[in-house]
Amino acid sequence: MNPISVTTAPLNILIGEDYHNVRATLDLAKEIWNASAVDGFEFQYLAEWDASTSPRDDKTKSHRRTAWETSEKHTEREIAELILKSGVPIISVHGNRDIGICLCSEEESEQEIGNDMLDDTFLLADSIGANLVVFHLWDTWKDSFNLKYLQEALAKASQRFPNVIPTVENVPTHLKGHTPFDLVSVFEFVTLDLRWAAMYDEFEKFSEIADKIANVHIRASLIDRKWSMMDSPFTIEDALNKICIDWGYTGPLTVEPEGGLRQASLSDFNEAFKTLRR
């Protein structure tokens, strides 16, 4: 049976708290866990907690600069201590979304920051017992970057953590002549995001690298106590039947809620996960 997981980033919408309030997130996650709704969580490592610099994607998400200015700051070690104290089971850690932006920069100082962020993600996962990490490894807006450098950076960061599986997500790309599937295919492990696979009409291609899939992201809205994908040529049920039955995938199914939470009760939220059990 595939473990059912949910990303922590949007959970606070359910209780009207700021998304970067990590203590509120962990308290709510514990409540969800105690209700046996999920088997664990994907912890989102937010750029808003970094005291040194604001989020680098604020050009496209301007609210993040304001959020960073008001957010409490936390080091990797402090976050680990909060998670361990909470007792919340973390299946995977999603690295800071600025990692790819930094690694694809022409400035060496930015590349070094990106490498430090990689290290922090592995350290956090290892210290809390999560055996999987997820990365947006490239700058989605760049039409030119060194893919080999990204491979080398990930390999170097992961070599000290043999018990942590490093996965690369099929996020959008503007790299000339390449699609997300082309890019993730060169890495050892993959997080398959169904939304991006649908957007690029590449879902079926992932059967070719099914043995590399270590995590599945289900970007979905909560509608009538069910998770539903919007603007997709396939349903969640059809996709999961193919992935789990036809392809033999046994890893985590990780929901990334993107709509419907403001109107939902916690019981509605918890109930929706039952439809994902295989």
Residue 88, domain CATH: 3.20.20.150
CA angle 127, 128, 134 (to 5 degrees): 95
Report the distance separating Cα 232 and Cα 195, nearest Å: 7
Other beta carbons less than 10 A from residue 233's beta carbon = 9
pTM of the model: 0.96
Backbone angles phi, psi at 70, to 5 degrees: -100, -15
Other beta carbons less than 10 A from residue 259's beta carbon = 16
Length reported for the chain: 278
Residue 57 pLDDT > 80:
no
The 3-state DSSP class for residue 164 equals coil
Report the distance separating Cα 64 and Cα 174, nearest Å: 23
DSSP 132: E
- More confident position, 61 or 105: 105
Report the distance separating Cα 108 and Cα 102, nearest Å: 9
* pLDDT tens-digit series, residues 115-127: 999 999 999 999 9
The number of domains in the chain is 1
Query: Residue 58's pLDDT band (boundaries 50, 70, 90)?
Result: low
Name the residue range of residue 43's domain. Answer: 4-276
Q: State residue 62's pLDDT score.
A: 64
Mean pLDDT (the chain) is 96
